[in-house]
Amino acid sequence: MINAAGDPRCPCGGQPEGATLSACCGPYLAGESWPPTPVTVMRSRYTAYAVGDSDHLFRTWHPATRPTDVSLDGSLEWLGLEILTSSEGDVEGVVEFAAHWRSGEGRSRQAGVMRERSTFVHRAGRWFYRDGVELT
């Protein structure tokens, strides 16, 4: 969705709700600032998946668990993010979310929801995604 100024709505839904990409996750993806909480890291990572920014995913992944190559599935279209629950301590945070997607065209079109409990760790003054457990 494009607003009157031509700045698209942030794929994560925006903080505050409905905020544009440049007012929400854009500065994190551009490397201008770092997401200050586990929830903002989660939102920025979802946005990176939605816009195809594998560099941001790599930067925000904890070095102990990140893969050597962060490849994105270009056939997926990310449709929306729901933060279900979150908690934050001094060293670790947890975010449960539901990410809605669709793939394919015509009769082969599929849609689904990925639910995950993601763990984030605070390291060197920054929050990083460590790992996640898919929820059913």
Query: For the chain, which residues make up each domain, given as ranges?
Result: 26-134
Half-sphere exposure of 85 (CA within 13 A, CB side): 6
pLDDT for the residue 4: 43
> Which of 84, 95, 87, 88 is closest to 118 using CA atoms?
95
Half-sphere exposure of 110 (CA within 13 A, CB side): 7
pLDDT for the residue 83: 97
Q: Is 101 helix (H, G, I), strand (E, B) or coil?
A: strand
Q: What is the CATH number of domain 26-134?
A: 3.10.450.50
**Local confidence pLDDT in tens for the 136 residues of the chain:** 334 457 899 999 999 999 999 999 999 999 999 999 999 999 999 999 999 999 999 999 999 999 999 999 989 999 999 999 999 999 999 999 999 999 988 788 899 999 999 999 999 999 999 999 999 8
> What is the C-alpha to C-alpha distance for residues 30 and 56, in angstroms, rounded to an integer?
8
pLDDT for the residue 5: 55
CA angle 63, 116, 30 (to 5 degrees): 50
